[in-house]
A = this chain, B = another copy of it.
Amino acid sequence: MTNDTICALATPNGIGAIGVIRVSGSDAKSITSRVFSRDLKETVSHTSHFGTIKSKEGAIVDEVLVTVFDTGKSFTGEESVEIGCHGSPYIQQQIIQLLLASGCRMAQPGEFTQRAFLNGQMDLSQAEAVADLIAAQSRGAHNIAIKQLRGNFSNRLKELREKLIHFASLVELELDFAEEDVEFADRTELKALVADVLAYIKRLAQSFELGNAIKNGVPVAIVGAPNTGKSTLLNQLLEDDRAIVSNIAGTTRDVIEETLNIDGILFRLIDTAGIRDNAEEIEALGIERSREKIKQATVVLCLVDSSDLEGLTAGNSLVTSIRSDYPDKKVLLVLNKLDLKTPEHSDGALAISAKEGTNIDDLKLWMVNSVSGDFDLAEETIVSNARHYDALIRTSEALEKALEGLETGITGDFVAMDIRQAMYELGQITGDISTDDLLGNIFAKFCIGK
């Protein structure tokens, strides 16, 4: 673990009013003082100082605001400096060049956060949450990331580990007295404890499907024969969404793919260009394309024109075939054109009018519920990280072995081994157990400056 001083631009590349350059390491203040018009040596943590950055030749590069942080009081836990300069790529490059020439090293991707982890400012799952938080585009994804950053997930895991430690120590204590054949731990209680922890771990692992969908957006396919109102429905959904976000300046929308933010969950609409171009699809090609979209989607909305009896039958059979081919997909038969004809009640179908906006709220509710299932997004811990999911699966495998061992009356040392294995796997999530490779892998995916 090195403590050399690193620097990098922390704000996005590009032109803005302000840019921030981060400096962290044992010489952060003294290196910055070499390029700054004031000596930072005697400055107090968390104070800002106005001055100029000067080149070696004495030319003024910029007027800046420098904020200092003492060891133990910064994001990284190291002595740190933040240089707030003008938001000019040229100036930022000049200042970084000066810092490099004065003893700094260019930071590796994620190195600031990695140092925060290595210095005990946060555990590994919290460090990973930093990247997730920054990338979060919806309330749902943000909610998961901020909870993880705040230690919600870590604290749950810590509780579980403590339970397992307690369990393991009881079993191991028995081993010490093996010849006396005592049982310190009531087997029934032990089984209940492991089963309890196992159930919780499984629930966490199950939440990954939801967490992953929320983090990456839920792919949605809108399919149906020509003239069933796909394009009208798409516009109706998007318009509602736009109305919510358009009054905030600076809101940018992904132009490549249409997305829909419903109740904090991001839905990614597949192939909206195909829906948008109103050229009639040749029926065969249409079905071909629909199949492709359905394969990619998690949520499938099958639109039929409820005034068209033939179409209704075809739609019904399409839904049935999707459900049998892909039992995991969430499929809804949507009976459109309620404004033209009130359809007969149909199980598992929803009647709407895309044109007049009737029952669109019900449709959205169905979409959200189909994704979130019985998970309580506001209260429950949701796992959104594939690495955590893998570790949870391995944990539950070890716990299952332990439980099996307890049930078949296997000797305590084997049970203890399985429990230790489960703890080891859990420890990888929080980084209590970590290797350089693992850390390298995680932080290399971060941007420079994080």
A10 to B14, Cβ gap below 8 A? no
A10 to B15, Cβ gap below 8 A? no
Least CB distance from A264 to B in Å reads: 10
Q: How far is the CA of A10 from the CA of B250 in the complex (A)?
A: 11
Residues of chain B with a CB closer than 8 A to A59's CB: 143
A48 to B67, Cβ gap below 8 A? yes
Number of this chain's copies in the complex: 2
Most buried by B among A22, A86, A97: A86
Residues of chain B with a CB closer than 8 A to A245's CB: 93
How many chain A residues touch the partner (CB < 8 A)?
A: 64
- Does A96 sit at the interface, judged by CB under 8 A? yes
Is chain A's interface secondary structure helix, strand, loop, or mixed overall? mixed
Least CB distance from A56 to B in Å reads: 14
B15 to A447, Cβ gap below 8 A? yes
- Does A221 sit at the interface, judged by CB under 8 A? no
- Does A134 sit at the interface, judged by CB under 8 A? yes
- Does A106 sit at the interface, judged by CB under 8 A? yes
B91 to A142, Cβ gap below 8 A? yes
Q: Known: A16-B449, A18-B20, A150-B60. Is A136-B88 also a contact (CB below 8 A)?
A: yes
A142 to B250, Cβ gap below 8 A? no
Question: Which residues of A, 124-177, contact B by the 8 Å Cβ criterion?
Answer: 130, 133-138, 141-143, 146, 149-150
A130 to B86, Cβ gap below 8 A? yes
Residues of chain B with a CB closer than 8 A to A14's CB: 12-14
Residues of chain B with a CB closer than 8 A to A93's CB: 245, 248, 250-251
A60 to B146, Cβ gap below 8 A? yes
Q: How far is the CA of A97 from the CA of B251 in the complex (A)?
A: 11
- Does A11 sit at the interface, judged by CB under 8 A? yes
- Does A209 sit at the interface, judged by CB under 8 A? no
Residues of chain B with a CB closer than 8 A to A96's CB: 248-250
- Does A17 sit at the interface, judged by CB under 8 A? yes
Q: Which residue of B lies closest to A100 (CB)?
A: B248
- Does A49 sit at the interface, judged by CB under 8 A? yes
Q: Which residue of B lies closest to A60 (CB)?
A: B146
Least CB distance from A40 to B in Å reads: 13
Least CB distance from A428 to B in Å reads: 25
- Does A293 sit at the interface, judged by CB under 8 A? no
- Does A19 sit at the interface, judged by CB under 8 A? yes
- Does A89 sit at the interface, judged by CB under 8 A? yes
- Does A47 sit at the interface, judged by CB under 8 A? yes
Residues of chain B with a CB closer than 8 A to A67's CB: 48, 67
- A12 contacts which of B15, B142, B149, B248 (Cβ < 8 Å)? B15
Q: Known: A146-B60, A250-B96. Is A133-B88 also a contact (CB below 8 A)?
A: yes
Question: Which residues of A, 1-27, contact B by the 8 Å Cβ criterion?
Answer: 8-20, 22
B106 to A249, Cβ gap below 8 A? yes
Residues of chain B with a CB closer than 8 A to A250's CB: 8-9, 13, 89, 92-93, 96, 448
Residues of chain B with a CB closer than 8 A to A248's CB: 93, 96-97
Least CB distance from A250 to B in Å reads: 6
B16 to A88, Cβ gap below 8 A? no
- A11 contacts which of B12, B22, B150 (Cβ < 8 Å)? B12
Other A-B contacts than A15-B134, A93-B250, 18 sampled, CB-CB below 8 A, are A9-B250, A10-B16, A11-B11, A11-B16, A11-B17, A11-B87, A13-B250, A17-B449, A17-B450, A18-B82, A60-B146, A62-B146, A88-B133, A88-B136, A89-B250, A89-B252, A90-B137, A93-B245
State the A residues within 8 Å of B (CB): 8-20, 22, 46-50, 59-63, 67, 69, 82, 84, 86-94, 96-97, 106, 112, 130, 133-138, 141-143, 146, 149-150, 245, 248-252, 447-450
